[in-house]
Chain A
């Protein structure tokens, strides 16, 4: 059998999740850019305008989901790129730990910021 070209493990779920998050991000990233650069202009941004958007539960939950999926997709992509370059053993484990910690930090910081805008979960 010919050589298999993939940085994903056979039978692993990360390949599938990378595709599922990709399909979601294609739509939400385009929406994010369109809303915040073409409908509203970035130079007109104020805390009050961001607050008004984030106090809507639909928008708030979409942005939290955006943060989670983008972080997973980005960090998983970096991890795969490193494996693709031949990272193995202890260095591979170290990369996994560092990337997991970095993901956690960016998610916690993002959620704290979202909560600061919305003044708590907008239920």
Chain B
């Protein structure tokens, strides 16, 4: 029979100081999931300016991309997406019974790799915005 670990109520955020690595992974996965689903709806809304006219689409995208704030938000979006992907892979492996013993280490690895990819992406995302 499966064994369950009594982690207590994770929904009780007041106890955040007692959270283990796996609980933080759960919190971050939920948070990044909310951001990504919110972005999906915004993304389709922006892209659907293509329904008005080709010019409306090109102008909308290029105007947005000329803003420094949008470029910074894109780095944030990449970070959120990369973490959700890496932690999602971690969850898929854990569901298959692989890596359960080192689930805390794979969470830290997801965080470090997300940070490295986000930092490495900054030059690409900011290219041309100051020019």
- Identify the A interface with B (CB < 8 A): 1-5, 19, 22-23, 25-26, 29-30, 33, 37-38, 41-43, 45-48, 50-51, 67, 70-71, 74-75, 77-78, 81, 84-85, 102, 106, 109-110, 112-113, 116-117
Chain A nearest CB: distance from B33 CB in Å? 5
State how many residues of chain B have any CB contact under 8 Å with chain A: 43
Is the C-beta of B95 less than 8 angstroms from some C-beta in chain A?
yes
A55 to B47, CA, bound (A): 16
Chain A nearest CB: distance from B116 CB in Å? 15
Which chain A residue has the least Cβ–Cβ distance from B1? Answer: A1
Identify 7 residue pairs between A and B in the complex whose beta-carbon atoms are under 8 Å apart, listed by A's number. A5-B7, A38-B124, A43-B128, A48-B54, A74-B37, A113-B44, A113-B47
A1 to B40, CA, bound (A): 40
A47 touches B54 (CB 8 A): yes
Secondary structure at chain A's binding surface: helix, strand, loop or mixed?
helix
Q: Of B40, B44, B45, B127, which contacts A41 at CB under 8 A?
A: B127
A78 to B128, CA, bound (A): 36
A37 touches B125 (CB 8 A): yes
Query: Do A112 and B48 form a contact, CB below 8 Å, given A75-B37, A106-B41?
Result: yes
Q: Of A2, A42, A110, which contacts B44 at CB under 8 A?
A: A110
Query: Do A113 and B11 form a contact, CB below 8 Å, given A41-B124, A43-B128?
Result: no
